[in-house]
Amino acid sequence: MIRTLAVTAALALSATAAAAQPAPPNFPGQAEFRDLYKELIETNTTVSAGSCTTAAQEMAARLKAAGYADGDLQLLIPPNRPKDGNLIAVLHGADPKAKAILLLAHIDVVEAKREDWERDPFKLVEEKGYFYARGASDDKAMAASFTDAMIRYKKEGFKPRRDIKLALTCGEETPDTFNGAHWLMTTHRSDMEAAFALNEGAGGRLQGDARVYLGIQAGEKVYQDYTLEVTNPGGHSSRPIRDNAIYHLAGGLSKIGLYDFPAHLNEATRLHFERMSPILGGQMGADMKAALAQPTPAAAVTSIARDPGYNSMMRTTCVATMVNAGHALNALPQRATANVNCRILPGEAPEAVMAQLAKVMDDPAIHIKLAGEKSPVSPPPSLSPNMPERP
Ligand SMILES: [Zn+2]
C-alpha cells in the first residue's frame, strides 16, 4: 500500500469487537489456496527485477486447469513492456442483460531490499498465525483470494446471475511508470465493464487480536508527489554564508512537518464516525460522536487526529519522503531537493495543495512543482446512489 491511493472513508459494515478467534481448522481447499498464495507471493513482481507477466501466466494456468476455456482467459501484455502483463478472466453468468461484477486486484508489489527485511521478502513465512512477505497483504492476499474463488466457482459448477470478471493488474504501485488498470480501461474497456468493482482499500481493524470492523470503501484520496528545489551559487565550506540551499530546504520541510491541512469530514467519513463511535467506545468513541456536530469541533478533531489512520481520513496529508542535497563534503551546496508526498482528499485539487505548501513554507528560494503525473481530482464520496444494488 506504499504507493496505493489511501482510503478516505470506510463504512462500518459488520462490527463486533469479538474476542480473538482460535485459528480455524483446515477447510476444504485450504491446501490448494495456500499453494496458490505461496506461488503468487514467491513470484517477484517488483518493477525493477520482477515480472507481473510470470505471475499472470501462473494464475492463468491455474484457472485453465480448473476448467476455464482459453477464450475466457486473456493474458494482456502492453507493447514494449513485456514484464508488465495483466490477466482478465470471466465466469459467465446466466443473465446476459445483468452487468458484471469485477474483482480487481493488483499483482505487482513495492520494491523490497533483502537487507531491510528480517525475513526473505519473497518467501512466504507464517509465524504465530501471521504471514510475512512482500505483498502478503497488499495486494496478493486479495489477488490470491479472488483467483481461488474463481477456481472454486468453476469447479463447483456455480452459475452466477451476472458475469463475474477477474482482473489481475500490474503497475498499481508504480503508476508513473505503467498503470495496468488504466491501460486495460483504455484498451480493453468492454472486458472491464461492470456494475461495480471490488478492490483493495478499505481494510479493517484489529485491536490486539480482536476483530473490530471490516470496511467498505466509498471514496478515495489521490496520490501526488511534489518536488522542492533550492539552488545556490555555492562556495567553499571554510567561508560559509547564511544563504545555504540545505538550510532553506530544511526550513521549508520543517514548516510542512508542523502544518496540518484543514480537517474536512465528508458524507462517508461522517457515517463512519457515527457507526464506529459506539463500537469503539472510550475516548475515541466519544470524540467521533462529538466530531459529528456542525461546525466540526476543533477539539474533537485534534483528539481523533492522534491516530494516524483517522487523521489521514479527515484531511489531506503531506510528508517529506526523500531529500538529496550537496555535492561534496567540503563545499557549500549548490542544489538541495526533496520529495513531498501528499494524499489529497476528494474534491481538492493538486494545484491548490501545491499553492498551500508554498504558502506554508513562505520562502521564495524554494521552488515547488508537481512530480510525475498529475492526479485527477477525486470525486467526493456520496453514499446512497453509489452503493451496489442488491443482487
Ligand atoms: Zn495495493
**Contact call for residues 170 and 106 (beta carbons, < 8 A):** yes
Give the distance (Å) from ligand 1 centre to CA of residue 139: 5
pLDDT at 385: 56
As beta bridge partners, residue 87 has 75, 168
Give the distance (Å) from ligand 1 centre to CA of residue 201: 7
Give the distance (Å) from ligand 1 centre to CA of residue 106: 7
- The C-alpha atoms of residue 171 and residue 161 are separated, in whole angstroms, by 31
Give the distance (Å) from ligand 1 centre to CA of residue 94: 32
333-356 residue pLDDT tens: 999 999 999 999 999 999 999 999
Task: Check residues 268 and 87 and name the one with the higher pLDDT.
Answer: 87
234-259 residue pLDDT tens: 999 999 999 999 999 999 999 999 99
Is 60 exceeded by the pLDDT of residue 117? yes
Angle in degrees, CA 117, 310, 170, rounded to 5: 50
Give the distance (Å) from ligand 1 centre to CA of residue 114: 20
2-16, 128-142, 319-333, 371-385: least confident range: 2-16
42-56, 149-163, 206-220, 366-380: least confident range: 206-220
Amino acid in the structure at residue 306? R
* Location of C-alpha cell 461492470: 194
Q: Compute the average pLDDT of residues 105-119.
A: 97
Give the distance (Å) from ligand 1 centre to CA of residue 1: 4
pLDDT at 201: 81
Is 80 exceeded by the pLDDT of residue 22? no
Task: Give 278's Cβ-side CA count (13 Å radius).
Answer: 7
Name the pTM for this structure: 0.71
pLDDT over 70 percentage in the chain: 92
Give the distance (Å) from ligand 1 centre to CA of residue 52: 14
Give the distance (Å) from ligand 1 centre to CA of residue 62: 23
Give the distance (Å) from ligand 1 centre to CA of residue 78: 21
Cβ burial 268-289 (10 Å sphere, 16+ → b, else e): bbbbbbebbbebbeeebeebbb
Q: Compute the average pLDDT of residues 213-231.
A: 91
Question: By CB neighbour count within 10 A (0-12 exposed, 13-18 middle, 19+ buried), where does 80 fall?
Answer: exposed
pLDDT at 381: 83
**Contact call for residues 73 and 81 (beta carbons, < 8 A):** no
Give the distance (Å) from ligand 1 centre to CA of residue 168: 12
φ/ψ of residue 4, rounded to 5: -70, 145
Residues 6+ apart with CB under 8 A from 227: 337, 338, 339, 340, 368, 369, 370, 371
Q: Which is nearest to 88 in space by CA: 10, 8, 158, 191?
A: 191
Give the distance (Å) from ligand 1 centre to CA of residue 197: 15
pLDDT at 215: 83
Is 90 exceeded by the pLDDT of residue 332? yes
pLDDT at 15: 35
Mean pLDDT of the chain, nearest integer: 91
Give the distance (Å) from ligand 1 centre to CA of residue 135: 8
Give the distance (Å) from ligand 1 centre to CA of residue 200: 6
pLDDT at 379: 86
Give the distance (Å) from ligand 1 centre to CA of residue 151: 22
- The C-alpha atoms of residue 1 and residue 172 are separated, in whole angstroms, by 9
